[in-house]
A and B are shown apart, each in its own frame.
Chain A
């Protein structure tokens, strides 16, 4: 087992290092023009420069705030919506077409509209995050509650449990793994929402850094923003995987 994991790790590490070397080689010797592609070494230098100047820290802080507020709102509302859809047939039938449609639509295209409504400050980005994340969380929550084992429901019934008890003590905990999976999916969507909304108009944030760099043909600056976003996505997903492992240890593995 230990040997197996180590082997996997080595392959992953080699793949990452090899990928970066390939990228470095391509941009230096094949493309050879900083206007079209920045090499990893240039990006790293740019990240250091932007960090020292304080620009990167400020952009990260703004984007993180937008993401956090939007994600918190969509978690609370999305889980609540999923509960309502799972517990009331009429509510489900009425909301399902809308939820499915909104979930499938690339709602990031609505970014200009939100900026028109809420301005170029943080609230247009919060709205964007909510609209791209909330339905994913709602759909997962609803599915989780509906997947409650019929055998366990019957066990509760045999003890004379009320519907409310079945819901609170059985459906809710057994839906937890699905809710966490929904949140994990929402991380990626939410990050896209923040950046796209910032691209359309913002005073600060990683999307703003990217669009300004692009306007100046500063590929190193553009990639610096993208790399930081990628790291945030990987890091947040890892946090949710850790949460899954600790909150719902009975699930999976």
Chain B
């Protein structure tokens, strides 16, 4: 068995008396696309932030390629829910931020970042400012910025949730197209079951009170995938199964919040 790219063992996180995450174990292979779904308050975003190093676990450890991680570093690229672009920088200057911060800018790197912007569908707008772009395009910049540092792990926190339904579906196919080019190891948090199934090799279903893994489901749908796969019976069975796992929690949280 090959060594896991990401190995999470017994991660717990307490906020005061609240147990947000309870002994999470997870192994992700190199090049695997893993999606995380669950009701709000199940700790899936907290889990992702711990892997990013933006938050410290109360217990347990996270290893990437065998190395324990405890802080953010350029071996992980984080794609935030809101695009978090610097309004005074052009698209290209925003995308180069990671290299600038780690002191690895070069003419070569600039060429690679330009090629990357082209890959994510931003050719021709490199010198525009974020305010001149649509929400979907800003998220492409957000993605390009994380990919530009060529991370071992790409961490995505509900990146398409602020987009309208049509743009979101386009961005899902775009993400798969981009991912097929490099097959990075991706951790993708979402609250949309169909988005998780469509994108991922495995879907990790979280439960809440305390936050824990309820089930890990391997998605056995052929790649490359296109939107029509969402209308196949196999896809519908995955949706039904995952929905049945989280339905109780979701109904409960809908009543209490």
Contact = CB atoms under 8 A, between A and B. Distances in A.
B52 A158 contact: yes
B59 interface: no
A177 to B, nearest CB: 10
Contact of B101 (A159, A174, A249): A159
Interface size class of B (residues with CB under 8 A): 20 to 34
Interface string A105-136: 00000000000000000000000000000000
Interface string A214-251: 00000000000000000000000000000000001111
A156 interface: yes
A161 B101 contact: yes
Contacts of B102: 159-160
Contact of B86 (A158, A159, A170): A170
B88 A156 contact: no
Interface string A20-54: 00000000000000000000000000000000000
Interface in B72-114: 72-74, 76-78, 80, 82, 84, 86-88, 97-98, 100-102
Interface residues of chain B: helix, strand, loop or mixed (majority): loop
Contacts of B72: 157-160
Contacts of B82: 151
A157 B98 contact: no
B89 to A, nearest CB: 9
Q: Which of B77, B80, B86, B129 has the most CB of A within 10 A?
A: B86
A250 B129 contact: yes
B70 to A, nearest CB: 12
A169 interface: yes
A173 B84 contact: no
B71 A151 contact: no
Contacts of B234: none
A95 interface: no
Contact of A155 (B71, B84, B100): B84
Interface in B102-155: 102, 129-131, 149
A160 B80 contact: no
Interface residues of A, number: 20
Q: Which of B73, B80, B87, B102 has the most CB of A within 10 A?
A: B87
Interface in A172-216: 173-174, 176
Contacts of B53: 158
Contacts, number: 53
Nearest to A166: B101
B87 A159 contact: no
A14 interface: no
A165 interface: yes
B101 A156 contact: yes
Interface residues of chain A: helix, strand, loop or mixed (majority): helix
Given A157-B72, A160-B74, A250-B129, A151 B84 contact: yes
Contacts of A151: 80, 82, 84
A154 B54 contact: yes
A169 B100 contact: yes
A190 to B, nearest CB: 28
A81 B74 CA distance: 34
Interface of A: 151-152, 154-161, 165, 169-170, 173-174, 176, 248-251
Interface of B: 52-54, 71-74, 76-78, 80, 82, 84, 86-88, 97-98, 100-102, 129-131, 149
Given A151-B82, A158-B76, A170-B86, 19 more contacts: A151-B80, A151-B84, A154-B80, A155-B78, A157-B72, A158-B72, A158-B78, A158-B80, A159-B74, A159-B97, A160-B71, A160-B73, A160-B101, A161-B101, A169-B101, A174-B88, A250-B130, A250-B131, A251-B87
24 contacts: A151-B80, A151-B82, A152-B84, A152-B86, A154-B80, A155-B78, A155-B84, A156-B97, A156-B101, A158-B72, A158-B76, A158-B78, A159-B72, A159-B74, A159-B97, A159-B149, A160-B72, A161-B101, A165-B101, A173-B86, A173-B88, A248-B88, A249-B129, A250-B131
